[in-house]
Amino acid sequence: MPREQILFVTGRLAERALRRELATFSDEAGFDCQVAVLGISVAALMHVDWVRRKLQVPSGMNRVILPGWCQGDLQVLQAAYQCPVERGPKDLHDLPVHFGRARGPLPDLSRSEIEIIAEINHAPRLSDHELLRQADAYRRDGADVIDLGCIPGESWSNVGSAVARLKAEGFRISIDSFDRQEVEQAVASGAELVLSCNQSNVEWAAALPAELVVVPDDPHTLAGLAETVEQLTARQARFRLDPVLEPIGFGFAESMGRYLDVRRKWPAAAIMMGVGNLTELTEVDSAGINLLLAGFCQETAIHSVLTTQVINWCRTAVREFDLARRMVAYAVTQRVLPKHLGTGLSLLRDPRVNEPDAEELEELARQIKDPNFRVFVSQDEIHVLNRDGHWHGTDPYVLLEQLGPLEASHAFYLGYELSKAMTALTLGKSYRQDEALQWGWLTRPEISARHRKTESP
């Protein structure tokens, strides 16, 4: 079959880098290409109407790919050239990824097998409004069940009405308490799960019309677990098992082994893991911990987790686990590695870092004919270029001083961009001028300075 013919459109400054990038993958990707260099320095400044006036598309082209920043309605060009016209990635170094994804659909990460129970801590001390606010936030982030965490030694007299209000808003509710009065009121009002049950309360808990989470009498061993399971089975009570995850330094490794022991002893039993004992009690960003524990749960058929997000380093733990459970479900069931799945869980560092090399920067420095500053991160330094020079270093303050006197708004803009560049340099992220740094699903969209000017009245 004939190879696809693709026309890539760019500006003068990006021509060399584009040709070099295309040479690295176009043959493997199975297409032939031509490059159309239009009379503009910065490809990002193109607009569809301007392209229509300047671009001549050679015959035989199967499609045209414009710079990702090109503005305007592509239908105008498609009607003029009678062939498909599309925007490429905003960074030309992402072209291989752009074409790699085009060969097949993105993985379907809609499926998950692990239920998330999100705990509201100190629920008795919260107002109705705050309970509803937290429950709603948890549900938006992916929680399936809202757990009301009670306070040992304090009696929650209106737990029943709190459960009823949440149930009226469509929430599934669990109650975390060993207090009989609290538990019975909550279950009578619609709570479907009780945390927890062991030999200390099995006699009355077994009669509840709710599912029970069975824990050992001694959280450091499995003592009492089998006895509680036997009693609940005899009374036909519904339950799931939780061998209890311990913090690092307090039996973490052994507790992980107990989950494997429980799975071997009760191969068909429902099991729950309280992941908050690790995410809350380990001073590290929680996304990686959540992914690791989700993978363990997926492989051992642990189909529910209890989590919370109290301390700041795991303030988004529910959303993280929701993304993680989808990622591991796909990886395990499809027998693929949990990478390149597009979940947005790479928060601190980017999956790929694109930056110009020394040769590209030198070529750009020779070609630039205007006073506008271009900012890059490359070779462990920040680079600033315009027609008057090429400055580089690792201290944004020194760089800004070297650029000379600047008008206030321009100084603010450069300071803002240099700050982003320094962050990218420090963390090993891709920096693109006028674009937000990428923080996975935490990324906050950013309107570029150029677009602010064009859209202002």
Mean pLDDT of residues grouped by 10 in the chain (457 residues)? 90 86 87 92 83 93 92 91 92 82 68 97 96 97 98 94 97 97 97 97 97 96 97 98 97 97 97 97 97 98 97 97 97 91 89 84 85 93 94 95 92 96 95 92 85 59
Q: What is the pLDDT of residue 20?
A: 86
Q: What is the pLDDT of residue 369?
A: 84
Using only the alpha carbons of the chain, give its radius of gyration.
29
Phi/psi of residue 87, nearest 5 degrees: -90, 135
Give all strands of the β-sheet with 389-393 in edge-to-edge order. 374-378, 381-386, 389-393
- Using CA atoms, how far residue 371 sits from 329, 368, 389, 390, 427, in Å, is 52, 8, 10, 12, 30
Looking at this protein, which amino acid is placed at residue 457?
P
State whether the Cα torsion 334-335-341-347 is positive or negative. Answer: positive
User: Does an H or E element contain 36, and which?
Assistant: strand 31-37
Nearest to 242 by CA among 321, 151, 304, 294: 304
Nearest to 389 by CA among 408, 417, 361: 361
Spatial distance between the Cα atoms of 186 and 276, rounded to a whole number of angstroms: 23
**Counting Cβ atoms within 10 Å, is residue 67 exposed (0-12), middle (13-18) or buried (19+)?**
buried
Query: Residue 32 pairs with which residues in a beta bridge?
Result: 5
Asked if residues 290 and 324 have their Cβ atoms less than 8 Å apart, the reply is: yes
Please report where in the chains the tokens 């560092």 appear, as a residue: 349
Spatial distance between the Cα atoms of 445 and 438, rounded to a whole number of angstroms: 9
Instruction: Check residue 407 and report its DSSP letter.
Output: -
Q: Specify the domain boundaries for CATH 3.20.20.20 within the chain.
A: 115-334
Q: What is the pLDDT of residue 457?
A: 47
**Counting Cβ atoms within 10 Å, is residue 398 exposed (0-12), middle (13-18) or buried (19+)?**
exposed
Q: What is the pLDDT of residue 101?
A: 54
- Using CA atoms, how far residue 274 sits from 186, 290, 338, in Å, is 21, 11, 23
Nearest to 146 by CA among 179, 125, 115: 115
SS3 25: helix
Contacts of 141 (CB under 8 A, 6+ apart): 118, 316, 318, 319, 322
- Using CA atoms, how far residue 280 sits from 113, 311, 312, 316, 383, in Å, is 23, 6, 9, 11, 40
Tell me the CATH number of domain 4-102, given options 3.40.50, 3.30.2250, 3.40.710, 2.70.98: 3.40.50
Global pTM? Answer: 0.82
Q: Which fold has domain 115-334?
A: TIM Barrel (3.20.20)
Please report where in the chains the tokens 């580089």 appear, as a residue: 392
Q: What is the pLDDT of residue 356?
A: 85
Q: Specify the domain boundaries for CATH 3.40.50 within the chain.
A: 4-102
